[in-house]
Structure 1
Amino acid sequence: MIDIEIRRARRNEACEAAELVRVALGEGAERLWAQDAAANESGLQAAARTMARADAPLPLSAVHLATLDAMPAGLLLSRPEAASRGWRIVALAVYPEYRGMGLGRRLMRLSETLARAHEATRLELKLPTDAAAARGFFEAQGFRAIGTPSGGRLSKPLGESWAVAA
């Protein structure tokens, strides 16, 4: 039997969390993080160092890891958006070898729970326009386009129930 656990990331898991954010955001994440890299430090190392700081814009306290048999398999990075009363999903990632096991849906249910606890009225996210598979996943979870249908901004009101099987 596979042991699945979803929990807040620990300080010593900053590297694993940064790698999963890179899986979710692609090469753009590495370029963004490289701006903060010290000499002889990769963008991924800079991200791990930054995320481990309590005052970071996206600290580890905003990261939840999904593990299978104690191995990192997925991640949810989310935070409140005070100005809009929304809950921003910054990154949701599952390593390819663990996809199809329901981890993404479980992480989405966690995002809704977190959002409701913070009295958010909707979930929000932004996708690259070429992320068709991810877009299909989020639409299956009840997200709809904001603005133009081909745009990358998606939203889901929290008044709706999840339209997925457990």
Structure 2
Amino acid sequence: MGETKQFSTSINGDRWSLDTTDGVTVVVHTGNGPSGGHQTRTPLAFFLEQSVGKPEHTALLQVLGQSQEEVEQQLQGDNTETNSQKTAMEYRRLGGRRLAKVDDNIVSVRSWEDDPSEAEAYWQAHVEPLDHEKRQEVALHLPSISDR
């Protein structure tokens, strides 16, 4: 882990922090104790896109000292997206509904609804053939069940 800075705590004890390692910044969400304290790591750009209107989004913008527009302009030039992130984002764009479950650092994927056929075909073609470690990397870029 690199440099970590907490920026938000919810009323139920969930915490959000920024973690920068090797020049890559992610948002780390740590669930409260009763929910198991599980952590999920979300790329900064994806977090800013998905959390608009939530208190943790506002808190992050305050920490960054920028408006949403300024952050978006800076992130447009960011080409640090990994293959696993690209794969997960394309799956989500196609309507994929699988969620990441991280339990004691064991990463798995859960689904309560069927994926649209296009998303399911993409998952079968681009994620299932990957080795276990690479599938876990893709899963870490999916929304977490603890965020629901």
Same fold judged by TM-score > 0.5? no
TM-score normalised per structure 2: 0.30
TM-score normalised per structure 1: 0.28
